[in-house]
Amino acid sequence: MKFSGLLLTLAISPLAFSGEIITTNDIQILSINGTEVESSFFEDGALTTKDGEQQIVARYSRTFRDKPILESRPFIFNIDVAGKTTLTTEELNSYSQAKNEISKGLNWYVKNEQKSYTVDNPEELIGKGFLPYSDIGALVAQYNIDNNLVVSNAPDIQSVTKMKTNSLIQFYQSATPEQQQEFKEWYMNNAAK
The answer to whether the predicted template modeling score (pTM) of the entire model surpasses 0.75 is no
1 domain-assigned: no
Are 184 and 137 in the same domain?
no
Are 97 and 182 in the same domain?
no
11 domain-assigned: no
In which domain, by residue range, is 193 found? 165-193
58 domain-assigned: yes
Percentage of the chain surpassing pLDDT 70?
75
2 domain-assigned: no
Number of structural domains in the chain: 2
153 domain-assigned: yes
What are 113-119's contacts with CB under 8 Å, separation 24+?
Answer: 113/82, 113/83, 113/84, 113/85, 114/80, 114/82, 115/80, 115/82, 119/77, 119/78, 119/79
Are 156 and 178 in the same domain?
no
d(CA 21, CA 18): 10
The pLDDT value given to residue 16 = 45
The pLDDT value given to residue 171 = 66
pLDDT digits 0-9 by tens, 47-95: 888 888 999 999 999 999 888 899 999 999 999 999 899 999 999 999 9
185 domain-assigned: yes
d(CA 144, CA 141): 5
Answer yes or no: are the C-beta atoms of 136 and 76 closer than 8 Å. no
